[in-house]
């Protein structure tokens, strides 16, 4: 099979950032399905892993968002059959989706939304899982909850784009999203945000002008270091904050003590990395997301025409993501 790998840490504009390899098609383990990959998406985790790649280790296939067709199933697989169309985010500890074929545990896979193309579906899994787990597992928001407010920092990014839609459809919270440009602010409004603040400005002051002295929940899908002091000031007493971006400096949790506010990390790969007892929750979440898509309640966050999966296009996608100017998601396809 053809695969696109990194062999050492290189800048995205380096001509050898990615290398095309020819590898044997892998054999599924008991709970694995072998997927013929049709489309992949790029996420910040891809760029982070690329930058950390050591020359002393084997070439690494990145990619943790995919849609494709089940080619073969392991001996204990019960959720899928060959020929079925699926989508998933994969497992950080295994080979990624930037290849013609990929092995993935059936418990973190779901049937692709019927109404979406492979490219449209590939834009959703990692971000949908991250947003869902942030809201309902980490912040302990309940479906249908009303009378409270949710601030989503980084509303126009991949996680924020699907997060706004999930919150709009599954809760009755007042949704405030942050965006730094008119284009991204319009995108957030289109997806269902009730109000917009600028995360490159004093958004805590902007909240007050909108009538929010504090907010009950904060989902930080942006730079945690940059926003920590404002989040501490803006969170409602006994509220909750969830973040997904690694901190450079230690989190100063003592700033939350007087408010008895809760803080939680969200890492979408926790369940697959540690093979948790509730690993199949990700299958259930993606299945629910597919139902919402097919019911026309949420839309794909693919925001640019997909391009062919090549070394050059993959490097360009990484560069675009690293620029910080992304709205929605980028997708690459395989014939």
In tens, the pLDDT along 311-321 reads 999 999 999 98
The class that CATH gives domain 127-265 is alpha beta
- Give the model confidence (pLDDT) of 30-72 as tens digits: 999 999 999 999 999 999 999 988 887 899 999 999 999 999 9
Domain ranges of the chain: 2-124+276-333, 127-265
The class that CATH gives domain 2-124+276-333 is alpha beta
Among 83-97, 201-215, 240-254, the range scoring the smallest mean pLDDT is: 240-254
Q: Is the pLDDT of residue 327 over 90?
A: no
Where helices occur in the chain by DSSP H, the ranges are 44-52, 118-122, 125-132, 158-170, 182-191, 203-209, 224-234, 270-273, 281-294, 311-322
* CA-closest candidate to residue 189, choices 165, 213, 219, 215: 165
At 22 the three-state DSSP class reads: strand
Count other Cβ atoms within 10 Å, centred on residue 279: 18
Cα 113 to Cα 100: distance, rounded to the nearest angstrom: 21
Average pLDDT, the chain: 95
Percent pLDDT > 90 in the chain is: 88
Burial of 265 (0-12, 13-18, 19+ CB in 10 A): middle
Beta bridge partners of 2: 22
pLDDT given at position 201: 87
- Give the model confidence (pLDDT) of 135-189 as tens digits: 999 999 999 999 999 999 999 999 999 999 999 999 999 999 999 999 999 999 9
pLDDT given at position 132: 98
- Give the model confidence (pLDDT) of 252-285 as tens digits: 999 999 999 999 999 999 999 999 999 999 999 9
Q: Are 169 and 142 in contact (CB under 8 A)?
A: no
pLDDT given at position 223: 87
Give residue 90's region: left, alpha or beta (phi > 0; psi -120 to 50).
left
* CA-closest candidate to residue 129, choices 252, 269, 233: 269
pLDDT given at position 81: 98
Q: How many CA atoms lie within 13 A of 206 on its CB side?
A: 17
Whether 127-265 and 2-124+276-333 are alike in CATH topology: the answer is: no
pLDDT given at position 248: 78
């Amino acid at each position: 099979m053809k695969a696109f790998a990194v062999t050492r840490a290189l800048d995205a504009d380096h001509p050898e950032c990615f290398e095309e390899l020819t590898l044997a098609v892998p054999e599924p383990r008991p709970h694995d399905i072998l997927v013929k990959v049709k489309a992949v998406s790029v996420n910040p985790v891809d760029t982070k892993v690329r930058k950390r790649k050591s020359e002393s280790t084997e070439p690494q296939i990145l990619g943790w968002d995919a849609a494709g067709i089940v080619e073969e199933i392991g001996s204990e697989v019960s959720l899928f059959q060959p020929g079925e169309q699926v989508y998933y985010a994969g497992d950080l500890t295994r080979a990624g989706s930037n290849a013609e074929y990929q092995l993935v545990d059936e418990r973190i896979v779901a049937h692709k939304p019927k109404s979406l193309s492979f490219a449209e579906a590939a834009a959703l899994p990692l971000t949908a899982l991250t947003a869902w787990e942030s809201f309902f597992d980490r912040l302990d928001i309940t479906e249908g909850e009303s009378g409270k407010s949710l601030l989503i920092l980084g509303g126009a990014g991949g996680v924020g784009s699907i997060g706004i839609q999930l919150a709009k459809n599954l809760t009755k919270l007042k949704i405030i999203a942050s965006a730094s440009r008119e284009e991204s602010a319009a995108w957030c409004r289109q997806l269902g945000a009730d109000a917009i603040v600028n995360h490159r400005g004093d958004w805590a002051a902007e909240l007050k002008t909108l009538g929010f002295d504090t907010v009950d929940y904060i989902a930080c899908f942006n730079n945690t270091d940059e926003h920590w002091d404002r989040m501490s000031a803006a969170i409602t007493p006994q509220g909750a904050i969830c973040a997904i971006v690694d901190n450079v400096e230690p989190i100063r949790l003592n700033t939350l003590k007087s408010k008895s506010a809760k803080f939680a990390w969200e890492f979408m790969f926790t369940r697959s990395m540690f093979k948790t007892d509730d690993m199949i929750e990700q299958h259930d979440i993606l299945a629910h997301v597919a139902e919402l898509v097919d019911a026309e309640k949420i839309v794909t966050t693919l925001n640019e025409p997909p391009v062919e999966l090549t070394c050059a296009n993959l490097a360009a996608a990484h560069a675009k993501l690293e620029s910080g100017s992304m709205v929605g998601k980028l997708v690459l396809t395989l014939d």
